[in-house]
Amino acid sequence: MKNVALIYPNKFKGGISCLAMHILHHHLNKYHDINCNMYFIENYNEIKNKDAIIITLQYENDYFNVVKIIAELRQKNPNAVFIGGGPCAIANPLPLSSFFDAFVIGEIEDTDIMYKLIHKKTDLDGVYYPKLDGTDREDFRKIKRIYPKKITIDDYPINQFTHPSGAYGDAFLLEIGRGCPRRCKFCMAKNIYYPPRFRKLDDLKYLVDEGLKHTKTNKIALISPSVGDYKYIIDLCQHIKEKNENISISPSSLRADTIKDELLKILNLKTLTIAPEAGSERLREYIKKDISNDDILNAVEIAKNNNIDKVKLYYMVGLPTETEEDIEEIINLSKDIKKDFRKVEISVNPFIPKPHSEFENEPFNLESKNSIKYIEKSLKKSNVKVNYENFNSMIIQCVLCRGGAELGDLIEIENYNKPVQFLKYLKKNSMLSDYLTKK
């Protein structure tokens, strides 16, 4: 029997809402000779004497936790193979290459790749072995990404763990599609999960039926980069309501140009959340967001007619070719929408050039911080709430998504659980600009 620890390197409330955790847990426990348990930042220190430790890498800013976790667990699990996976591993595993024995580059469904890695097999397709391949010198992009050509009901977790503290609450996570059919230049997921794949309607109905039987839940969260692009979204929602009219349906994201009256009626949302990304049509056209002002205003009009009283808008600043006029358009659009709604909340964060996107070599704009503060000040009188992430954490995210193995070593040396120290070191040693302006 192989004893395996599956770790989400952050808080339980984030990990319990991470579909990858559920898929991996279900996938591994189907093998008669594997016993896999989930762990989070709150309880990973309980792990000892495991044969394999798997960490899902969902966000770059978790790397500080990852380095700390591995440093502690190597001592208590001397024979374990350490395996990394997830979107960050697919995009750029190099910053953590000194700490893992293997990275899965891709998606594990329809494969036995995890089983083989747990049994310490090497020379597997779709796996990057940094200690064998030479770490930073190895061009991991040459590794052929593995993925299922179709996503089906196989390997899908029916009996899911839920908790009220999760991002979706007590929700059954229903992935309707993977990858995105749209063409946004800034999007990494569009490329690392290409081609876009949606599940068959009959398969989704089956997963709904079985999920409601085996999972204690009052909500179904629809997971996909673009839920509204699913051809049978109305049929699916109708099926859910027919099973239990008291079940609420929560879409992970909706594009403004996919919002229809029939969809909002059946979703019965309290808040409409859309992502214009940029304030002006010119800039949205340049970044290939493919959403017009009319699309946005039409969406909020439908929302108003369906008695939705709150709208959340997501924007980025510091995009390539951005001008002062584009910033003003964010302010104007937000003000216009506020006229018709009791609550309007916007999230504004700096554009981060991600690997594998069309904008991967663009610079990070440090002036974005001033733009965010200006937008916040300009919307204060209009009673539009402005949210934003810590700016330094966004800078660190940019550095980690583009850097090499030297960064992981630096995290370990420079007080690995303190990102502030990491950033100070980069600035002090004149290293920061090289990452932010990488070409």
pLDDT in tens, 215-230: 989 899 999 998 999 9
Q: Which two tokens stand for residue 286?
A: 């340049």
So what's the pLDDT on residue 216? 86
Which among 233, 251, 269 is the end of a domain?
251
Question: CA 357, CA 48: separation in Å to the nearest integer?
Answer: 39
pLDDT for 367 beyond 80: yes
Cβ within 8 Å of residue 430, ≥6 positions away: none
In a domain, 396, yes or no: no
**Number of other CB atoms surrounding residue 282 within 10 Å:** 13
CATH number at 370 reads 3.30.750.200
- Enclosing domain of residue 228: 149-251
CATH number at 170 reads 3.30.750.210
- Compute the CA torsion angle 357, 361, 363, 368 (nearest 10 deg): 0
Asked if 87 and 192 count as a contact pair (C-beta separation under 8 A), the reply is yes
Which among 216, 251, 286 is the end of a domain?
251
Domain match, 348 and 408 both: no
In a domain, 133, yes or no: yes
Question: CA 196, CA 401: separation in Å to the nearest integer?
Answer: 23
pLDDT in tens, 324-359: 999 999 999 999 999 999 999 999 999 999 999 999
Domain match, 306 and 220 both: no
Which among 89, 113, 142 is the end of a domain?
142
Nearest to 184, CA basis, from 316, 288, 291, 295: 288
pLDDT in tens, 373-432: 999 999 999 999 999 999 999 999 999 999 999 998 899 886 556 898 899 999 998 999
Question: CA 84, CA 105: separation in Å to the nearest integer?
Answer: 9
Phi, psi of 201 (to 5 degrees): -60, -45
So what's the pLDDT on residue 409? 86
Q: What is the band of 136 on the pLDDT scale with cuts at 50, 70, 90?
A: very low
In a domain, 395, yes or no: no
In a domain, 358, yes or no: yes
pLDDT for 137 beyond 50: no
In a domain, 319, yes or no: yes
Q: For all residues of the chain together, what is the average pLDDT?
A: 94
Domain count, the chain: 4
CATH number at 119 reads 3.40.50.2300
Domain match, 135 and 174 both: no
Domain match, 193 and 247 both: yes
Domain match, 280 and 365 both: yes
Asked if 284 and 330 count as a contact pair (C-beta separation under 8 A), the reply is no
The predicted model scores a pTM of 0.95
